[in-house]
Amino acid sequence: MAVQTLTNKSHYQITRQLCWAFFLISTISCTANNSTNTPSPTLKDAFRGQFLIGIAVNERQFTEADPKAVQLITNNFNSISPENVLKWQSVHPSPETYTFDMADKFVEFGLKHNMVIIGHTLVWHHQTPLWVFQNEKGEKVDRETLIARMRDHIHTVVGRYKGKIKGWDVVNEALNENGQLRRSRWLEIIGPDYIKLAFKFAHEADPDVELYYNDYSIENEPKRRGAIEIVKSLKAEGIRIDAVGMQGHYLMNWPTLQQIENTINDFKKLGVKVMITELDIDVLPRVEGHLGGGDIRTIRITDPQRWHELDPYPDGLPEEKQDALAQRYAELFKVFLKHHDTISRVTFWGLTDGESWLNYNPVPGRHNHPLLFDRQYKPKKAYYAIIRAAQEFESSQKNKDK
């Protein structure tokens, strides 16, 4: 009898354990299935409490024409930026026409999925139609006309999304590499105070919206000095500026982690937040004549041998390069995590490698691999590496608190 009871009991225990194991396996595989094989925790969960994890989205994604992408985006990211649809040429293509169809859909997508919505961008030298700077005869407009156009544009666009968009890249890329103001049409026609005016108009249009200055390569000291001057001069006049966006179009060996830390610290001292706004890592060989960062010039290559050298991974990134990319991403995120009190958001410039602008810039037609998801929408080693960095950071914080 006693033996019988024992046997029954152990049988019961084994059955229970088996059931439990079965439950765990089915739960894990369910989680994986539900999230297109994204493991748990997802990016936004891993970084919760540190900073927002954002993504620049394109039309196929925010109109939900690409359901696989939508699933990855909503699982992993809690902030969105528009890749193109809020740029001047998209929303205000001619003097009397504002076209908000796509921009509205972008904002609806963010609201529907409870994401922090970022506006990009109001005043820039690029992707801004020529009519903005010219009269009907094609002559350069005067300062007052351009200021009035800028004011109308900013009031209309910022005003439309008042209370929905959390913050705007008000001015994009106003600086040269040497830290002086870029000789854009904005500077030529209005003068250096065009930056202050843009921030002032944005604040008038939505007094609650956050305002950012956004640029690339400000990790390099001369250019950073220019960005510091911009922040200081806005603050000196009591004009709102909440954060500086470091675009984060990085290379495997530039910038150094030290340059990044110095940049974060310099802006922290000025009392503004820092955002990494357009993160990607170019893994292809450099092309002579290209400045890197957000330099948008196109270089065409006709020599087949040179092409082969410049496009070495058309069939996928080799394992050792995946490892190196994962390590580079992990190192960057360790720095971002260390400065989580200053960094409020890290946004990737695109979801999958296949859609990255780096396949077209500076050399159109190459196969770059700069992001966290490959051309088949599969998370790369870099994806897991930054989640691990977040987990390690969290447990080191807990140990500190003990």
Amino acid at 181: L
- The length of the chain is 402
Which residues, 6+ apart, have CB-to-CB distance to 68 below 8 Å?
36, 377
Q: Tell me how far, at minimum, the Cβ of 61 lies from ligand GLA, in Å.
A: 15
Rounded distance between C-alpha atoms, residue 251 and residue 301, angstroms: 21
Rule CB under 6 A: is residue 61 a binding residue for ligand GLA?
no
Pairing relationship of beta strands 343-348 and 210-215 according to DSSP bridges = unpaired
Q: Tell me how far, at minimum, the Cβ of 157 lies from ligand GLA, in Å.
A: 15
Q: Tell me how far, at minimum, the Cβ of 120 lies from ligand GLA, in Å.
A: 6
Q: Is 229 a catalytic residue?
A: no
Rounded distance between C-alpha atoms, residue 55 and residue 77, angstroms: 7
Rule CB under 6 A: is residue 313 a binding residue for ligand GLA?
no
Residue 42 or 172 with smaller CB distance to ligand GLA = 172
Which whole-number Å values give the CA distances from 338 to 51, 332, 334, 402, in the listed order? 11, 10, 6, 19
Q: Which residue out of 83, 210, 219, 278 is catalytically annotated?
A: 278
Beta bridge pairs of residue 251: 282
Rule CB under 6 A: is residue 248 a binding residue for ligand GLA?
no
Which residues from 116-175 bind ligand GLA, rule CB under 6 A?
A: 120, 172
Provide, for the chain, the percentages of residues in helix, strand and coil under a 3-state DSSP scheme, each rounded to the nearest 5: 45, 15, 35
According to CB under 6 A, which one of 98, 131, 313, 357 is a site residue for ligand GLA?
357
Rule CB under 6 A: is residue 294 a binding residue for ligand GLA?
yes
Which residue in 103, 279, 120, 294 sits closest to 211, CA to CA?
120
Rule CB under 6 A: is residue 247 a binding residue for ligand GLA?
yes
Residue 125 or 151 with smaller CB distance to ligand GLA = 125
Which residue in 84, 31, 82 sits closest to 54, CA to CA?
82
Q: Is 288 a catalytic residue?
A: no
Beta bridge pairs of residue 262: none
Q: Tell me how far, at minimum, the Cβ of 105 lies from ligand GLA, in Å.
A: 18
Which residues from 189-208 bind ligand GLA, rule CB under 6 A?
A: none
Residue 247 or 263 with smaller CB distance to ligand GLA = 247
Q: Which residue out of 83, 173, 210, 219 is catalytically annotated?
A: 173
Instruction: Report how many residues bind ligand GLA under the rule CB under 6 A.
Output: 7
Which residue is listed with tokens 């990044």? 260
Pairing relationship of beta strands 165-172 and 79-82 according to DSSP bridges = unpaired
Residues that bind ligand GLA (CB under 6 A): 120, 172, 216, 247, 278, 294, 357
